Amino acid sequence: MDLSVVILNWNTRELLEKCLKSLEEHFDEIQFEIIVVDNASKDDSREMVTRQFPNVKLLVNPVNVGFGAGNNSALPHTSGRYVLFLNSDTVVTHCALATMIRFADSQPDIGILGPKLLNGDGSLQYSCRSYPNLATGFFRNTPLGRLLPQNRFTSDYLLQDWDHATPKDVDWLSGAALMIRRSLIDQIGCFDEDFFMYCEDVDLCWRANHASLPNEIAKGRETWRVTYFPDSVIYHLIGKSSDQVPTRMTYEFHRSQHLFYKKHYAHSYPIIVRPIIPAGIWLRAAGQIIRYRVRNWQKRYTSWRQKSGSV
């Protein structure tokens, strides 16, 4: 088997159906299997998969165990030389999978490969990035970043000074469409399940970038490559699951940032500075949650006035 495609689903029945239909068109190109992991959806996602896609292997978690744990639960059921973790809110374009497999086979030191991701309107999605740092925290999705939208810290983080038209080794790739070589999974494992959602893709790519290559494929390079590959294109509709619970997801995003900081960065900062960064992370989280709730209240108040005839 060339490829095992793992799709994690949580209440995205219609999007999941479109994703699976786009995958069906590729069965003649390469040998691959599809495993859908349902994280305790309350819609009819599971019934739809069983009814319309009998060749798809369906796994059901009784509770929502999160992104990393949900995807990891599929691994014992996979047999591909590569595993593609694919969001349910994606649409795979013609030859995208076969092209990725051919490229990875030609570059045996690539451990993780990611396609070009496009938004629903066809615009580029910045799906490969530099590792986050302190400046990223100050400028990315913050009032300071909105005041200075052209700041170089956000640009450096998103790799905006590059046209994303050629393959490139990068720090990390979006978990929305992440293809991993089986031998790398055997070496370092897969997603860290301490991350409920967000940053598990950054963490996985970090571990790959720091994992030693087997001697037979090293050829002067010491660690595995994490590579962006724009010749394969996949459409990704961002946040269709997380949009259902924005406050919870804001909390989980910042919790994951804190965890990533403790795991990979804290030891490199002076002891006196270490408590300051988590405080900043949670202050940022509180600001975003308050802003969301104020906007939600404003929308509900406006709707009430319209219905009551006050406007």
Question: Is 188 within the bounds of a domain?
Answer: yes
Question: Is 16 within the bounds of a domain?
Answer: yes
Question: Is 228 within the bounds of a domain?
Answer: yes
pLDDT, greater one: 298 or 57 = 57
pLDDT, greater one: 140 or 182 = 182
Is 218 found in the same domain as 285? no
Instruction: Please report the DSSP string for 201-267 in residue order.
Output: HHHHHHHHHTSBPPHHHHTT--B-EEEEEEEEEEEE-TTTTGGGSHHHHHHHHHHHHHHHIIIIIGG
Q: Is the pLDDT of residue 309 over 70?
A: no
Residue 102: name the closest of 13, 3, 237 by CA: 3
Do 97 and 32 meet the contact criterion of CB atoms below 8 Å apart?
A: yes
**What confidence tens digit (pLDDT) does each residue in 41-94 have?**
999 999 999 999 999 999 999 999 999 999 999 999 999 999 999 999 999 999
Is 220 found in the same domain as 118? yes
Q: What are phi and psi of 117, to 5 degrees?
A: -105, 135
**Three-state SS at 68:** helix
pLDDT of residue 33: 96
Residue range 249-273: mean pLDDT, rounded: 88
Residue range 269-291: mean pLDDT, rounded: 83
Domain ranges, residue 113: 3-126+164-237
Is 300 found in the same domain as 169? no
Confidence band of 239 (pLDDT split at 50, 70, 90) = low
pLDDT of residue 51: 97
**Three-state SS at 190:** coil
Is 251 found in the same domain as 121? no
- Report DSSP state, residue 76: G
Q: Of 208, 237, 266, which marks where a domain is finished?
A: 237
How far apart are alpha carbons 246 and 309 in whole angstroms?
Answer: 30
Q: Is the pLDDT of residue 10 over 60?
A: yes
Is 180 found in the same domain as 34? yes
**Beta-carbon neighbour count of residue 122 at 10 Å?**
8
Q: What are phi and psi of 202, to 5 degrees?
A: -65, -45
How far apart are alpha carbons 157 and 155 in whole angstroms?
Answer: 5
Q: Of 237, 266, 288, which marks where a domain is finished?
A: 237
Residue 243, classified by CB atoms within 10 Å of its CB into exposed (0-12), middle (13-18) or buried (19+), is exposed
Q: What are the structure tokens assigned to 181, written together?
A: 């070589």
Q: Is the pLDDT of residue 194 over 70?
A: yes
Question: Is 52 within the bounds of a domain?
Answer: yes
Is 87 found in the same domain as 225? yes
Residue 290, classified by CB atoms within 10 Å of its CB into exposed (0-12), middle (13-18) or buried (19+), is exposed
**What confidence tens digit (pLDDT) does each residue in 196-232 have?**
999 999 999 999 999 999 988 888 889 999 999 999 9
Strands (E), 62-209: 82-87, 90-92, 110-118, 128-129, 168-169, 172-173, 177-181
Q: Is the pLDDT of residue 113 over 60?
A: yes
Confidence band of 119 (pLDDT split at 50, 70, 90) = very high
Confidence band of 281 (pLDDT split at 50, 70, 90) = confident
Is 302 found in the same domain as 191? no
